[in-house]
Structure 1
Amino acid sequence: MHDSDISQEMIDEAKRNPNGWVYKIDCKYPDGDNIPPEAIEGAWRVNESGEIFEDFVKNDSYRPIEKSRRILPKFMRMKHPSQAHHWMIEFDLRCLHLFPKIPKEAYVGYWLIGDDGAPNGYFRPTSTYDPEAVTKILESIKY
């Protein structure tokens, strides 16, 4: 990242947040949506005067959005018109019975919901999905 990657919006954000950080996020998230760590490319440190003053720090958890050709589970293909432009989590289906307390290790990724309320094929993998950890979690559950 270069200084030229710092937009006026980022400079304004720094002024509003002295002694903090300005984050580079690769797409817009609707108000109220939690931004997953995988969407944050990195950040710049902000000094007490509200100025960006250090080099860009890359986020090792960042995962770019990809156009996926994967087939979604049937229940995820349903339309959710009120969720247009939001992200829907996909998780390891072996954990379906744990809903709503799905462990982060079982989060496969996020699907973007399009204008029509259906997933539009844009997918962001998570940095936490670990099929082996999911297997261990499931084996440790006492039924």
Structure 2
Amino acid sequence: MGDSRIPDDHITASSQYNWVDHAPWKARLTTSGHSAWCSKQAVDPTPWIQVDFSRDLYVTGLVTQGRDIQYDQYVKSYEVAFSGDGQVWRPVTNASGTAIKFAGNTDRVQRTTTKFDDVLRTRFLRIVPKEWNNGCCMSFEVMGCNRTELKP
């Protein structure tokens, strides 16, 4: 996401606090300053942010970070869902079929890397924050590759 191969309009969310500083595309991990995606908590009790890769990719994990600068806002835990069409979503689950709650950040500055147990082949990836500190705000990068980059 950080290299802008994914267009801004392919990063969408359930809501956003303020278009200028907190739009979904501000979730790019390379965005500097105090910008990050932030949900509009007063009207969005179950926020999410998602990426449309435009084609199937292999996703292996995420790197997350909170809202930097003066605000102590970050996502403490989240679930991940994926979809081939953007309509039907499947959660990332453990062996018993229960949605996995991934550990997020413990502060607004440090980056947290999460590697999935299984590689996801998907066109859409959705992050569903479950707990946050002082506000549901985050930046992230998707780890993975397209099929031509996989080695036999």
State the structure with bigger RCO (CA 8 A, min sep 6), 1 or 2: 2
Higher strand proportion, which one? 2
Q: TM-score, structure 2 length as denominator?
A: 0.23
Q: TM-score, structure 1 length as denominator?
A: 0.24
Question: Which structure: larger Rg?
Answer: 1
